[in-house]
Amino acid sequence: MTIKLLVVDDSALMRRQLTQCFEQEPQFIIRQARNGREAVAMNQEFEPDVITLDINMPEMDGLTALSHIMASRPVAVVMVSSLTEKGALATFEALALGAVDYIAKPGGTISLSMASIQTELVNRVKAAARARIKPLAQTARGLTTRLQEERAVMKNRASQTAKDEAEGLVLIGVSTGGPGTLERILPRLPAGFPFPVIVAQHMPPFFTGPFANRMNGLCELSVTEVNRPMPVMPGTVYIAKGGTDTTVALRDGKLTVLPRPESSRHLWHPSVEVLGRSALQQCEARQLIGVMLTGMGHDGAEAFTELKKQGGRTIAESEESAIVFGMPKELIERGGASLVLPAEKIANQLISWTRP
């Protein structure tokens, strides 16, 4: 499969380093653009399958370029973001505009740093080339604004109606395409949803905090990053902290979520497998609901399959809505999915399963 790739960055050195990451792969045909304006024009002329897009550029920045690209000729875009809170916020805006994935720009000496992310970068671009493109820029931005206004009013109601102790847990595993997909599910959970929700979204440090803050503005439930041990409470969504694995433990007789160092035995972090296994150790399977969403690889498939075998319930996102069908497909093929549903129907199913 030939992949036409457009590399967009205002730094000549960065363009060269990014290009060298892909030149060793014979399937790539590569062109370069120096800024957003050139990127928009070359999207029409070169017709790439994937664009890697910098955010901060002269003449036309990456977000503005992305909005033009998704409006004129939608294509798979992977954002190349700085590993800072500001970079994270811009990245989530890009995902709302239609980008399918992102990768954090490494710091330090560029040549050495790029070598450290080369494999991940190439894999993400290859996955993006197979992704389902959803060019809904204006709709996504309008939905975000409307939800933020509505949810601000509802936030107190959620805390007032939530019970003191959890009757069960919802565990969500997600990777590539996850932020946008979670925005189609979590804001649909109502105030007083009785099960706490724990999300293992593959993200680097500096990204999960801003992402939790963003989701907190969209959801009726409270959303927080797991950056310290926290009691598991209904009415709350817990986002696993980047650079760690989140586990479920028992502290003073109460279920607690806590971050721990990344497990060297697992490839992806925060690890869905680690989260699922720890929940099975502390809870009866019938108290657990596992949800496997869009993403590459097989993280969590083994744990969620075991969860179902022991009497728990699981949902795999269907191919029709998944941006990358890898993780849910793996769960389905292992026989670990109780139901296969598009993202738009998952929230209602969770509500139905947890209704008294």
pLDDT tens digits, 114-151: 777 888 899 999 999 999 886 544 444 444 444 444 44
Give residue limits of the domains in the chain: 3-135, 139-354
* 202 part of the active site: yes
Fold for the domain defined by 139-354: Rossmann fold (3.40.50)
Provide the pLDDT for residue 231.
96
pLDDT > 60? residue 306: yes
Catalytic residue among 82, 175, 271, 321: 175
* 299 part of the active site: yes
Mean pLDDT of 290-300: 96
Mean pLDDT lowest among 36-40, 170-174, 249-253, 255-259: 249-253
User: For strand 288-292 and strand 28-33, is the pairing parallel, antiparallel, or unpaired?
Assistant: unpaired
268 DSSP assignment: S
Provide the pLDDT for residue 108.
52
Which of 273, 286, 281 has the alpha carbon at shortest distance from 327?
273
- Give 323-356 pLDDT, tens digit per residue: 999 999 999 999 999 999 999 999 999 999 999 8
Provide the pLDDT for residue 147.
47
* 149 or 51, which is more confident: 51
Report the top-level CATH class of 3-135.
alpha beta
pLDDT > 60? residue 265: yes
| Whether this model's pTM surpasses 0.75 | yes
User: For strand 244-251 and strand 254-261, is the pairing parallel, antiparallel, or unpaired?
Assistant: antiparallel
- Give 161-208 pLDDT, tens digit per residue: 445 566 899 999 999 999 999 999 999 999 999 999 999 999 988 899
Same CATH topology for 3-135 and 139-354: the answer is: yes
The sheet that has 28-33: what strands, in order across it? 28-33, 3-8, 50-54, 76-82, 101-105
Provide the pLDDT for residue 153.
45
Provide the pLDDT for residue 116.
76
pLDDT > 50? residue 63: yes
Catalytic residue among 202, 269, 278, 321: 202
pLDDT > 70? residue 232: yes
* 164 part of the active site: no
Which residues are bridge partners to 46 per DSSP?
A: none
Provide the pLDDT for residue 9.
95
pLDDT > 80? residue 244: yes
pLDDT band at 104 (very low <50, low <70, confident <90, very high): confident
Catalytic residue among 54, 81, 299, 318: 299
Provide the pLDDT for residue 112.
55
Provide the pLDDT for residue 113.
66
Mean pLDDT of 48-59: 94
Tokens standing for residue 32: 């370069």
Which residues are bridge partners to 180 per DSSP?
A: none
Contact 189, 350 (CB under 8 A): yes
Provide the pLDDT for residue 115.
77
Mean pLDDT of 252-268: 94
Provide the pLDDT for residue 78.
96
Measured in degrees and rounded to the nearest 5, phi and psi for residue 271 equal -80, 125
- Give 151-160 pLDDT, tens digit per residue: 444 444 444 4
Mean pLDDT of the chain: 89
Tokens standing for residue 192: 């007083």
